[in-house]
Amino acid sequence: MALTQMALDSLDFDATVALAEKVAPHVDILEIGTPCIKHNGIKLLETLRAKFPNNKILVDLKTMDAGEYEATPFYAAGADICTVLGTADLGTIKGVIKAANGYGKQAQVDLINVADKATRTKEVAALGAHIIGVHTGLDQQAAGQTPFADLALVQALNLGVTISVAGGVKAATVKQVKDAGAGIIVAGAAIYGAADPAASAAEITALAH
Amino acid sequence: MAKPLIQVALDSLDYDQTLALARQAAPYVDIIEIGTPCLKVNGLALVKAMKAAHPDKLLFVDLKTMDAGYYEAEPFFKAGADITTVLGTADMGTIKGVVDVANAYGKQAQVDLINVKDKAKVAAEAAKMGAHIIGIHTGIDQQLAGQTPFADLAALVAQGLPVKISVAGGIKQSTVQQVVQAGPSIVVVGGAITGSNAPETSSREIRELVTSA
């Protein structure tokens, strides 16, 4: 069984809350995407936290520096998972893990654009990272890339860390991703681009669970 | 040699305190920076408020973009940012997106070399792509581990790329003249101003030291 995560990537505050209202009953984790959090700030997290007590919330901070300082206010405001970039200094990654542990929450290391993914995954697992994010970015998807090969690579390391997979996953590929060892499956466009986002979210979650 | 511009980095998380610090530093600096943690907590509203309060200063928004370059940066240029940053560890497609959107608004994109392994290579690629500014940046977590930006700055200046060079990483009164002499276009000062008991006095001191360097 894999958890499902809905990536909220609109920039508009009200549109983000409205979409979350539609999909929240049908997914496990609500993600506030990076452009969305930079646009709207911590107030959006506070709003979603109050409205959706039954969902976990991931804030895609993609922290690159000042790890503990940057992540702490978001855990304090109710984030369950914050992300830190795999291309960051290990001191930064350590800081986010420390902040997460201080609140009994989780830190996710995003492998987006990391050159040596195996080495970095081992390093951050040793630091105590809770989740490894295999992530083919939007700009990389536009260039035709997918996350499947990287998922197989990280899974083969067999480190016992939860693996999250993001990068154009849709209903047709959910089962493949789950069988390949993903613990969390992220869907964005496949849900918000659907005519009926709630139905699409329910379909993806049924396949993942 | 032309004197570099002075940039104050505002890294408080508090909205009102950030605006108050900007007011104190503004008379002595050229560029006001909204730092990454500050931006993530306060959002675009702070960018608009800062631009309205300081229309005569360049406004720098330290987005540290890692993906979706054009999409993420565009609203900030629209809201009055003069410079936004994109990470040197990002995909070149992401860097190109931020450069393109900066050009579309007649503004500037800065590539931040924080934690980039092969800095000379990424700087050359980013310059070729049209990046306006390359940032040498020793991060907070790296400063805590004892690192400084001086060697990287000298190497990038020596590369002779047709870009402006910005330098950040714990620069203070005792080191700012050494940094200026290395020849950057922009010198970033954070804690030496914002962590001071008298931010206005510290800003003036930095300005005087840059002028007399």
CA distances from B154 to B112, B127, B178 (A): 16, 17, 11
CB distance from A89 to chain B under 8 Å?
Answer: yes
Neighbour-count burial for B143-154, b at 16+ CB within 10 Å, e otherwise: beeebebbebbe
- With CA atoms as reference, the chain B residue closest to A84 would be B66
Locate tokens 């005519």: which residue?
Answer: A195
| Cα nearest neighbour of B144 on chain A | A91
Computed over every residue of chain B, the mean pLDDT equals: 97
DSSP 3-state assignment of B149?
coil
What CATH number is given to the structural domain containing A104? Answer: 3.20.20.70
Residue A85 touches partner B, C-beta closer than 8 Å:
yes
Could you tell me the residue range of the domain that residue A74 belongs to? 3-208
Using a CB-CB cut-off of 8 Å, the residues of chain A touching B44 are: 38-41
Give the tens place of pLDDT for each residue, B92-126: 999 999 999 999 999 999 999 999 999 999 999 99
The domain defined by B5-212 carries CATH number 3.20.20.70 = yes
Question: Does position B1 have pLDDT exceeding 80, yes or no?
Answer: no
**Residue B68 in contact with partner chain A when CB distance is under 8 A:** yes
- Is the pLDDT at B36 greater than 90, yes or no? yes
A73 and chain B in contact, CB less than 8 A: yes
For residue B204, the SS3 value is: helix
What is the predicted pLDDT for the residue at A137? Answer: 87
pLDDT digits (tens, 9 = 90+) for A185-200: 999 999 999 999 999 9
Indicate the burial class of B189 (C-beta count within 10 angstroms; 0-12, 13-18, 19 or more): buried
Per-residue model confidence as pLDDT tens digits over A99-122: 999 999 999 999 999 999 999 999
Task: Look at residue A144 in the predicted model and tell me its pLDDT.
Answer: 87
Q: Which two tokens stand for residue B171?
A: 């620069």
Q: Which residues of B touch A62 (CB under 8 A)?
A: 64, 66-67
Instruction: Tell me how far apart the alpha carbons of residues A53 and B35 are, in angstroms, rounded to a whole number.
Output: 31
* pLDDT reported for residue B154: 95
B118 touches chain A (CB under 8 A): no
Give me the number of domains chain A comprises. Answer: 1
**Contact: B45, A41; criterion CB under 8 Å:** yes
Put simply, whether B203 touches A (Cβ < 8 Å) is no
CB contact under 8 A, B142 and A89: yes
CB neighbours of residue B117 within 10 Å: 11
Q: Which of B29, B2, B4 is nearest to B187 (CA)?
A: B4
What is the chain B residue with the closest CA to A91? B141
Q: Is residue B89 within 8 angstroms of chain A, CB to CB?
A: yes
Residue in A with minimal Cα distance to B72: A35
CA angle centred on A182, ends A177 and A187, rounded to 5°: 65
Which of the residues in chain A have pLDDT under 70? none
Q: Where are the alpha helices (DSSP H) in B79-186?
A: 92-104, 119-128, 140-144, 150-159, 173-181
What's the gap between Cα B190 and its chain centre? 10
- Which residues of chain A neighbour B99 with C-beta distances below 8 Å? none
Closest by CA position to A21, among listed A47, A58, A2, A59:
A47
Among B40, B45, B64, beta carbon nearest to A37: B40
| Partners of residue A29 on adjacent β-strands | A5, A56
Q: Assign B54 to helix, strand or coil.
A: coil
| Percentage, residues of chain B above pLDDT 90 | 99
What value, to the nearest 5°, has the Cα angle with vertex B206 and ends B201 and B212?
125
SS3 annotation, A16-69:
HHHHHHHHHHHCCEEEECHHHHHHHCHHHHHHHHHHCCCCEEEEEEEECCCHHH
Give the number of other CB atoms < 10 A from CB of residue B76: 28
Phi, psi of A170 (to 5 degrees): -135, 180
- Best mutation target, B47, B67, B91, B94, to test chain A (most A CBs within 10 A): B67
Q: Whose structure tokens read 């229309």?
A: B55
Select from A138, A150, A186 the residue whose CB has the most chain B CBs within 10 Å, as the one to mutate to test that interface: A138
ipTM of this predicted structure: 0.96
| DSSP state at residue B2 | P
Chain-chain contact of A64 with B145 (C-beta, under 8 angstroms): no
> Would you state the pLDDT for residue B2?
85
Residues on chain A touching B66 (C-beta within 8 angstroms): 34, 62, 64, 85, 87, 112-113, 137
Q: What is the pLDDT of residues B46-59, one digit of tens each?
A: 999 999 999 999 99
Are A89 and B90 an interchain contact pair (Cβ–Cβ within 8 Å)?
A: no
Grouping H, G, I as helix, E, B as strand and the rest as coil, residue B141 is helix
Residues B108 and B82 sit within 8 Å (Cβ to Cβ): yes
Distance CA B120, CA B128 (A): 12
